[in-house]
Structure 1
Amino acid sequence: MSIWKLVLLELKAIATDKAIAITLFGGVLFYSVLYPLPYLHEVPTRQAIVVVDLDRSGLSRELIRHANASPKLEVVGTVGSIPEAANWIALPREGIQAHGLLVIPEHFSRDVKLGKGATLAIGGDASYFLVYSAIAEGLVDVGMDFATELKWQALTSRGTNPVAAELQLNPLDINSVPAFNLSLGYTPYVVPGLFLLILQQTMLVGIGILGAGQWRNKGYWDQVSPLMLLGGRMLAFMLIYSVFTAYYVGWCYYWYGANLMASATEVGLLLLPFLLATTVVGIAFSALFTKREQPTQVLLLLSMPILFASGFVWPLSLIPEPLVWLSQIFPVTPAIMGMLEMNQMGVSWSQILPSWLHMWGLLVIFTPLAWWGIKYHRDRLVDSKSKQLS
């Protein structure tokens, strides 16, 4: 049997197996929409808040107008007590769900005019970190801007030149510009790494199901040498996942606005060892199972630890070191860091060389393990046939 005939048989086995086809083709397409879709708006804006106005003065109403003018906030109602505002946050009212509150204390206007100062209380639903962050930041900005405006009015009323008053209140202008992830959004930050994790996990599950379903049965796979089967299976999955990778890194990156600062050649050079190493890891992984459902179960449990241990959604210093070390056996760990550094931080090829060599090293280590796994199951099948004949 030629290698290309073997590859065609592998592709046929993948396409005709419903579990594998759904995992590979359905999973890659489904997750390309599922993960980014909830975050298409990138940054949460116009978050609904309730104001507890205990002062009911002209100055408090002016503060409420300032809050409603903030691009991060929308005042959906004014109530007379904190418990009433808390109930609005807990349960929607008139179809509107509030996520934060602003409390304007009694005698707010009087204390401000007397120069005593006043304390504003803010709160938010911390169940959603991005929403809470937007509310807290928006309310703090409103409070500080309103206080600055009041000070400016006090200075100008005493005869201070308006320009001098502005310089006195704001002696420094801060121009804050993010170095990476310029939109400060979720999609360009997390989605590129998630796409690589999806590619790895679906490939490992697909190879695992294919291998686990074949090891105890006779078929085309036991008619070739272990080395030839290893090469044919690698070629088959490389052909499929070259298309999937081009879809993710090409079309999906463009559609979702993910950064792609590196050239196509550099991206291809980085992802080549990733795909090769993932295929041999998958083949070696498949040798551990003889039941088709087991690879999916195991990898579902490993997905989240691998994601966090990759270091781009949670600081590695806060993750137990044994878990970080264990994650290094998966090609996606160096691949994610290499892709993010190259495409979001604009580092040179020499700086991601350790990640690139890491993946080639995994390929070298797992190739003999994959070959041994195939040979082990072939020998067991031969032995069982011999016993049946005898």
Structure 2
Amino acid sequence: MSLTGSLLQFGSIIAAAAAFVVVVLLWGRLARRGAVAVVARGAALLGVNALVVFAMLISANDHFAFYSGWNDLVGANADAVVSTKGASRGTETKAQANALLAGTTKPTGPRGTPVDGYGDRVQQLTVTGASGVTSTALVVLPRGYDDPSQASTTYPVVVALHGYPGSPKQWLTALDVRPAVEVAVKSGQMADPIVVIPDLGIPAGRDNECLNGPQGQPQVETWLSSDLPKAVEASYRARTSPQAWAAMGFSMGGWCAAELTMLHPQQYGAGIVMGGYFRYEPGSGYVPFPKNSPEAQAHDLVAVAAKNPPAVSLFVASSQDDPESWPTTKAFLAAAKAPMSVTSLIAKTGGHRSDVWAAQMPQALAWLGKTAPGFAPTGTPQP
């Protein structure tokens, strides 16, 4: 019996309901005095509650696809296969890389405020701008950022995008991006970046898919592609070349990373998509534009990859039994071509959950250091 699907889901619900009815019918007998009756009542109540919890977990897993099957549940995932298609990247000379990084400005605006419990290296920055959107972003600074000896050092930027429902702190807890970045930097795989984690709940609780809404609604895509980069560059020593800016996300955030990289290559030269998708299907609660409108066609990233691919680099991680990610990822990988470069990490099994994406991050960061000139490692590996 499959872990996902209606058979197990409805079977578990029926079993829980049947157990409840049986306990109610037999309660008169279970209510007798004596140690045996007390144990029987306790076992009956525990059994009903266990079946109810099991049914709830099965239903949640069926909806969110946390685990794709029994093998995935017990940790028997197949090895992932890495492949690259489209244009090659990471072959620029040192002179070409330096030229790409020449556009760097000095910060002129205020920095964010330290976040309680995380020290001065994690700050919260309020961002507003031409989009009319006001929201916040967590900013994780590199080690030694405030060291006087590093006063002239500039840094590439990774914009980390959370899923829905979710929050920026997922990147500091479930996916803890900080140690993953520090390992990649210390091992000489990439340059130390500024990590920016925007709050995508604009407004809170809305599944906006990082898209501009209709007139009068928040222009989230503009905020992410224009207002946020300008605010970061004004407040921190961030490199301004698109080859030094990357969008990275999981689930809905993976879609956002692909969208920002492919539709705004003037800002984001690279993207990391973990468990994301490449076509947006409007939900019943929020529809930013009609399904067959010009805006919808422009945001069909599979069609963009096939007809007008931008000169950007993408790292795409998915599994063949992830129902949220794989169908459009498969179509996207088949359509991708030069001048876009796509490196894929595809497993046969793997659920739609944070520990899968956390495990993919080290390989994604190493890819970023090899592929985007602005993230190329400097110096030698640290002990």
TM range (shorter): under 0.3
Higher helix share: 1
Point out the structure with max Rg over C-alpha.
1
TM-score with structure 1 setting the length = 0.25
